[in-house]
A = this chain, B = another copy of it.
Amino acid sequence: MSAEERRESVVRAALIEFARGGYHGTSTEAIARRVGVSQPYLFRLFPGKQAIFAAAAERCVEETWRVFDEASAGLSGQEAAEAMSGAYLSLVEDRDQLMMQMQLYVSVFSARAAGEEEIGETARRLWEGLFDRVRIRIGGDMADATQFFAYGMLINTLVALGYPQDHRLWSGFGEHEGHGEHGGHVGHSEPEESGKAE
């Protein structure tokens, strides 16, 4: 297998491992095992662990855009937003994609706290790239795009916390008055009674 092909398989394996363990919680040994090569060989293909993480992060965001793009091909405005919402919800099944995103965000903060700015610059470039492409696709409005991503981040959180999709916490994603951005009617959305605890 050529070095380039190996690098590709390393990125795929790294995405899964980093998604599950986070940067510090993932050993290069674990990545190598998943790829099926020896651990030191990773350092021939990449200059270090950080570079592998950055590559996995970039791949993750690109992949997310690919999913959005395919789902909303030929659509725009409200229709595109709904199509992309549905597509994002289908990613919930494949949690690694979603969790790699979150791992990237917290890693940026940790790296910055430790004095490293590189990964942060990469992450912001990726985030803005995705944000603007989505924004254009759904009509260009800043507030609409912000809402879209807000629900996306909540989805990430619920997945991280391990809530199954039929849990009551997923029931609040229904259409919301005039402009139901997200939703795709997740789980059962029976109306909620309003005073139950506290």
Contacts and interface: CB of A to CB of B under 8 A. Distances in A.
Interface stretch (A6-14, A46-54, A141-149): A141-149
A43 to B, nearest CB: 21
Contacts of A136: 194-198
Interface string A154-198: 101101111100001101111011110000000001011111111
Interface stretch (A17-25, A31-39, A86-94): A17-25
A145 B160 contact: no
Q: How large is the interface on A (under 10, 10 to 19, 20 to 34, 35 or more residues)?
A: 35 or more
A73 interface: no
B160 A109 contact: yes
Contacts of A23: 22, 24-25
A22 B174 contact: no
A113 interface: yes
A174 B141 CA distance: 12
Interface string A59-73: 000000000000000
Interface of A: 20-25, 95, 99, 102-103, 105-110, 112-114, 120, 123-124, 127-128, 131-133, 136, 139-147, 149-154, 156-157, 159-163, 168-169, 171-174, 176-179, 189, 191-198
